[in-house]
Amino acid sequence: MRPVIVAGNWKMHTTPADAGELARTIGARTRVDGVTRVLCPPFVCLAAVRDALADPGVAAPDGSGVAVGAQNVHRERQGAYTGEVAASMLEGLATWVIVGHSERRQQFGETDEVVAAKLTRVIEAGLRPILCVGEQLEAREAGADVAATIVVDQVVNALRPNAGDALWSSGLVIAYEPVWAIGTGRNASGADAAAMADTIRRALRTVAGSVAGLGNGEDLTVLYGGSVSSSNIDEFMAEQAIDGALVGGASLKPDEMAAIVARAGLTARARAAATTA
């Protein structure tokens, strides 16, 4: 059974003075069994969020807490890269890392090669990656086949250089985030997102020969990201191919996160019941 995951990407919001309290509030409001919760604050807030989430009041009834994730890492292990953060520097601060977010690709020129190198560093550091992939608006408007080709290339180009046992044992998660749906208030339909999730799993099979445990790709966890909110989460969680969400702006709002995680919990319970039936 694939896990159900809700990850919140706070982007360039919050400060060390207020991030801890926000994280604690969200943790306490999202205590739902069966849902893996992750909060990804800015680098300067990692310690504050880590400490706040150590509060036992954020644990779900099943004992699971809230994990901390970073939003980015550098592609090199160390060096003269002023202002950058290496994966090894996150030890003790985070256990997850977002890699290849569309804003990094579009605003900072991250190529597939750079994303692949960052994924390598995350795996080396023993962190759990959330690899983001997705097409721009012109590709979507050109047709589903064009969009799928772009996403498949992103998946294969990131994974093939990292193919090996360590990739799969890292707990790789892929987030499908159509660029045209991020921060725009638009979102893909549940059916569109599910179709792309299936495409991503098929793409995984192109590198599966050298990745132990991949099988046919059906075990890969795929999230949807792109203007996720409490008003549309049901459409995505109703799709069997979707395993959760990478939430942007709504992850800064406790009420929104509470509703999103609650809906994800329904999917988690349904999957658990089907497994034991």
The mean pLDDT value for 189-207 works out to 91
Task: Kindly tell me if the per-residue pLDDT of 172 is higher than 50.
Answer: yes
> Active site residue: 135, 177, 235, 256, which one?
177
C-beta separation of 27 from 41 below 8 A: no
Beta strand 128-133 pairing with 66-70: unpaired
Task: Kindly tell me if the per-residue pLDDT of 212 is higher than 50.
Answer: no
Angstrom distance (rounded) from CA 238 to CA 191 = 10
177 is catalytic: yes
pLDDT tens-place string over residues 68-78: 999 999 999 99
Which of 244, 151, 136 has the alpha carbon at shortest distance from 195? 151
C-alpha distances (whole Å) from 236 to each of 127, 184, 263, 264 are: 27, 18, 10, 10
C-beta separation of 148 from 199 below 8 A: yes
> Active site residue: 101, 103, 135, 239, which one?
101
C-alpha distances (whole Å) from 151 to each of 39, 94, 130, 204 are: 25, 27, 15, 11
Check residue 208 and give its pLDDT: 63
On average, the pLDDT of the chain sits at: 93
Mean pLDDT is lowest, of 12-16, 166-170, 221-225, for: 166-170
Angstrom distance (rounded) from CA 216 to CA 61 = 33
13 is catalytic: no
pLDDT higher for 188 or 112?
112
Burial of 28 (0-12, 13-18, 19+ CB in 10 A): middle
Burial of 78 (0-12, 13-18, 19+ CB in 10 A): exposed
Beta strand 35-40 pairing with 4-9: parallel
Task: Kindly tell me if the per-residue pLDDT of 210 is higher than 50.
Answer: no
Task: Kindly tell me if the per-residue pLDDT of 139 is higher than 50.
Answer: yes
Domains in the chain with CATH codes: 4-276 (3.20.20.70)
Check residue 168 and give its pLDDT: 83
